[in-house]
Structure 1
Amino acid sequence: MADQGIPRFSIVPGEVTPVEHFARLRQAVEPYVDSTPLRDVSRMPELPFIHQYHMGRLLFAETRMIHQRSRRDAGWIRRNDVGHVLVQAFITGGGASLHGGREYRTVPNGIVAANMCFELDAVLTDSHILTLVVPPEVIEEHLPVLRDVRGPLFAPGAAAGKVFADFLISLRRHLPDASRADAPVLTDAAIGLMASLLSKEDTSSAEASRGVLMAVQRHIDQRLGDFDLGADSLCAEFGLSRTSLFRMFEELGGVRGYIQRRRLMACFRALSEPRNRTRRIFDIALDYGFSNPSHLSVLFRSHFGMSPSEVREAAGDQFTQDGTAWRPPDGTGLSIPEQMRLWSRQLGSS
């Protein structure tokens, strides 16, 4: 059988009314930002679109945006705790952003990092953007320089930025015809190029003070199944006072809330993995510190809008046997925006 193409979803104009069209786009990007148009969508001659490709460990997206405001506040982070970094090349357009306490402007041909670990308030003009979505697991293993960075990745006019923009443009051109077998090769190429180009950039020196927080967060992710994980154990492990620890996590919704969200996301991903299809949901929940099935179901419904069993059903048979790429949805009952949201939340599953 011929190899299928790299899985793709698109939201393009003409399928529904302009207002409904923007609502679908807004739903698709919900794990990242709350988007509000700053123009009358119903009167626009040219509507936005999005094409999204699942490359295995990375997502690639081509979007045309209209003049809009994109926000990600503390509440949005708590509800959509994806932790990804969006590496974006602005082919046209740009705007002004306040991102995790840092102000910057985005200009045509600029490469910026939108880090979902930080609050964001951006106003963008009509823009054409190419994006690589990089999950925390890839960042930790291959691109630690992206942990805390936000804003421009390269100096204006730098050759490294031009090379990376050319790579993303090449991906846009070739992904529609690429096979599923090409996905791992293209993903490795993207990761390797970023690692090489960013190794010459001093992007994280200003964030050194956040080292302790990052260490605590990594510790939490490594011990999600520990029922004793909490403020007392973290204070003992890192020699912190409770006051210091609570202050550190204040903007992340508190220590308890942060641990719960990380457990929910890990459980969500585990339920979506092919290797866990035959395991009981309760056994998976125990792996991540949940001992009450009823409480887990309530938390899932509140956080994801789906029950654990619905998450498993929606994932269905969308991975190939080796788990490297997605299959097109078949009978999941989810709309395209919902599938895009699912891709975003599952990205990084091993």
Structure 2
Amino acid sequence: MNETMLADIPGRGVDALKQLRAMTADICDVVPLTAEDDFHVTTVTMMTRNALLVDTRATDQEYDRTPAHVARGAMDHFQITLCVEGEMRFSSGRREVTMGPGAICLIDMAQPNRTVLRGGGSRTRLMAIILQRAMLAPRLAHPDSATATLLPSNHPHTRLLASHYAALTLPPEPEAGSAEATIEAIADIVAAAAGGTADIAAGVERAERHLYLAMIKRRIADNIETDALTADELCRHFQISRATLYRLFEADGGLSHYVREQRLNLAFRQLISPSAEDTRLIDLAVGMRFSSDSTFIRAFRRKFGLTPGELRELADNWLRETGAVPTIDTVLHQLARRRTS
């Protein structure tokens, strides 16, 4: 995500309720379904260039968005809401849905609606991607009738989509693709479920492929120094076939090639770090799952144009001359200059 803002309603009780009502006066009426002293809401809002991701934990309560609220024009957006914990009941006109954990619902905030949260003795947790109308409406064949579209927890795409809600709150992995592209793919799949345009329906497979690939690449990044990256393990974890897995990585030169490249990138970062200066090359090679230090050195030279030992020497010289640890970009720039000189 590009930016994170904390919007935490401080404490609980009457003062917290008053503060929330003041913040949402133009959006909805807030009605606690517990004693006011027990009222509590915590929200964390994260921003990208094309969406907001809002993570909310709340005691039992109701939100009423009346025609008067809609007329004020404070929120002419769609939101794609995932229920993580508890229960959410949403109604708009004659349309009504009930969501439990794992379910996803498309909501049109330009229409009057009512939301009831019930945590069953705990707090309800919702995660919502909020999109400008100009982004989602062109994807829908009938934008004004898409609200309350439910993707239940057993829908073919909900597990895939839900995994990306959690991933969007984490530091970005460059190889996994941008948060913006992930949100575009989520919007395509939800729009298709709600009755998308012909172009959107035709592009669902592409959006699904993007989300699977981003999800698998994040798992690879999280387990790059382990043995949990075999094709069999990834297929089992993501419940996909070996053929599907291999197709996903065709553009990256294949799964094995991609994993090896990421391990070499990690080795590069470790080699320029002073904290790893005493690490033997054989230990680094074994940690990166190479069969020997000579195999590791050859692969490293092919990728970066110098040996691990030469990279260490370059980084050490930079540290002595500048007093600072070189960044990866600094080292790569120096290598590029060396090749052209």
Query: TM-score, normalised on structure 2?
Result: 0.50
For the pair shown, the structure with the greater C-alpha radius of gyration is 2
TM-score normalised to structure 1 length: 0.48
